[in-house]
Amino acid sequence: MLENETYENCMDCPRHLVAPDPDPTDWFEDDDELVLCTFTKERRNITVACRPHHKRAECKTPSWCPLLLVNGINTTLQKD
2-54 pLDDT, tens digit per residue, is: 557 788 999 999 999 999 987 777 777 778 999 999 998 889 999 998 889 99
Q: Is residue 70 in some structural domain?
A: no
Q: Please give the residue range of the domain that contains residue 48.
A: 14-59
Closest of 49, 57, 11, 55 to residue 31, by C-alpha:
49
- The reply to whether the predicted model has a pTM over 0.85 is no
Domain total of the chain: 1
Sign of CA dihedral 17, 12, 33, 44: positive
Is residue 41, in this structure, part of any structural domain at all?
yes
pLDDT tens digits, one per residue of 61-80: 999 998 887 777 754 444 44
